[in-house]
């Protein structure tokens, strides 16, 4: 890692502290703006863990978000549990569901997985609508009568810090290299000794856990949920959009994409909601055509960021300093 990128990454904890102090200075819409930014960026990071690193593009990640929202809706809204207990339970339930679901779905490849996940999301939305004994169906649930901005702000900040930490670890670990090798060529990875099934399921579960938590926090924040709002296809599409915009399968990509996305959404879409659908479609086309590897790739090409992984850099340096016998056949091809 170069001095420059070290400085840049070192800025993250500083920004984190500033974010933790922000509620002392900000209130009202300004605080909500950051709350929404954490929500978006957190969702982008979650999606990136499985789809960015392994290349299994999920169109249905809203399922985990929606389930998380409903766990908090049912526990806190209907049964009046403390949200601080309900939110972790939402994450736990989603995690438990994600293991067998991942085992099942990750047998599908490419577009079949993508569409399969879309079907999963539709199915969970349907369950939320039809199982009205549990979920109150289309009536929805009033989760909270108060507006819980500061608590949720901190909740989302913590979730975001954790999912970023996890991503940083993945991006600098052998686990991450294995996930990337699955994205690149799954059979070749398997032939190299990668337990592709296990690694994919692990990435899938990690990538489901955080939307579960975020969905739970969202329910507590927004105060009212129904199947249409928390299982909206837009959540899935936005996760894809933000991650592709920033750069999939990288550490900083979801951050950059998520922040850019939040500014666009909050400044434009809120004013012109009728163009939401059209502009989303346009954005996808523009990204895929002009920056297929995201903003981060542009930055790397300009030399503003390096792609060397910390684990490799450190390791190679330590190996190189210990004397090595030179091999023969030095000719180059």
Partner 1 sequence: MSEGSEPVLRTDGLLKRFGGVTAVDGCGFEVMRDSMTGLIGPNGSGKTTTFDLITGFQRPDKGTIYFEDNRIDGDRPYRIARNGLGRTFQITRVFPQMTVLENLLVGATGTELRSAAARALHLLDLVGLSDLRDEFCSRLSFGQQKLVEMARIHMRPQKLVLLDEPFAGVNPTLTEKLVAYIEKLRGEGTTYLIIDHEMKLIMRICDRILVLDQGKLLTEGSPEEVQTNSQVLSSYFGDK
Specify the residue, 146 or 318, whose C-beta has the smaller distance to partner 1.
Answer: 318
Report the nearest approach of partner 1 to the CB of residue 243 (Å).
15
Report the nearest approach of partner 1 to the CB of residue 325 (Å).
8
- CA 285-168-265 angle, to 5 degrees, is 35
Calpha distance 140→222 (Å, rounded): 12
Calpha distance 254→167 (Å, rounded): 10
Supply 257's token pair: 């994409």
Specify the residue, 132 or 195, whose C-beta has the smaller distance to partner 1.
Answer: 195
Report the nearest approach of partner 1 to the CB of residue 205 (Å).
19
Report the nearest approach of partner 1 to the CB of residue 328 (Å).
8
Report the nearest approach of partner 1 to the CB of residue 183 (Å).
8
204-219 burial code (b ≥16 CB/10 A, e <16): bbbbbbbbbbbbbbbb
Specify the residue, 133 or 303, whose C-beta has the smaller distance to partner 1.
Answer: 303
Specify the residue, 15 or 312, whose C-beta has the smaller distance to partner 1.
Answer: 312
Bridge partners of 48?
none
Report the nearest approach of partner 1 to the CB of residue 209 (Å).
25
Specify the residue, 103 or 224, whose C-beta has the smaller distance to partner 1.
Answer: 103
Supply 31's token pair: 């605080």
Specify the residue, 145 or 324, whose C-beta has the smaller distance to partner 1.
Answer: 324
Bridge partners of 224?
142
Report the nearest approach of partner 1 to the CB of residue 327 (Å).
4
List of residues contacting partner 1 (CB under 8 A): 174, 177-178, 180-181, 183-185, 187-197, 307-309, 312, 315-316, 318-320, 322, 324, 326-333
For residue 166, give every residue at least 6 positions away whose Cβ sits within 8 Å of its Cβ, in sequence order, or none.
Answer: 49, 206
């Amino acid at each position: 890692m170069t001095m420059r990128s070290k400085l840049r990454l070192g800025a993250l904890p500083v920004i984190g502290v500033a974010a933790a102090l922000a509620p002392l200075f900000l209130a009202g819409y300004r605080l909500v703006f950051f709350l929404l930014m954490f929500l978006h960026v957190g969702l982008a990071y979650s999606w990136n863990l499985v789809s960015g690193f392994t290349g299994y593009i999920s169109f249905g990640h809203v399922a985990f978000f929606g389930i998380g929202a409903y766990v908090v809706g049912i526990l806190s809204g209907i049964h009046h549990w403390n949200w601080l207990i309900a939110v972790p339970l939402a994450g736990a339930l989603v995690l438990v569901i994600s293991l067998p679901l991942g085992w099942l779905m990750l047998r599908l490849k490419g577009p079949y997985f993508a569409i399969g996940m879309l079907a999963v999301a539709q199915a969970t939305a349907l369950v939320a609508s039809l199982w009205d004994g549990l979920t109150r169906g289309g009536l929805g649930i009033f989760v909270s009568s108060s507006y819980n901005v500061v608590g949720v702000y901190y909740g989302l900040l913590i979730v975001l810090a954790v999912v970023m930490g996890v991503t940083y670890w993945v991006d600098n670990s052998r686990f991450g290299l294995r996930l990337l090798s699955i994205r690149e060529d799954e059979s070749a990875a398997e032939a190299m000794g990668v337990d592709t099934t296990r690694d994919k399921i692990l990435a899938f579960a990690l990538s489901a856990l955080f939307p579960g938590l975020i969905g739970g926090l969202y329910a507590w924040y927004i105060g009212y949920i129904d199947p249409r709002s928390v299982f909206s296809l837009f959540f899935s599409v936005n996760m894809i959009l933000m991650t592709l915009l920033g750069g999939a399968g990288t550490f900083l990509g979801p951050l950059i994409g998520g922040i850019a996305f939040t500014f666009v959404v909050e400044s434009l879409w809120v004013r012109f909601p009728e163009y939401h659908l059209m502009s989303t479609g346009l954005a996808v086309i523009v990204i895929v055509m002009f920056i297929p590897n995201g903003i981060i790739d542009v930055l790397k090409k300009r030399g503003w960021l390096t792609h060397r992984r910390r684990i490799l850099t450190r390791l190679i340096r330590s190996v190189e300093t210990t004397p090595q016998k030179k091999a023969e056949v030095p000719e180059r091809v």
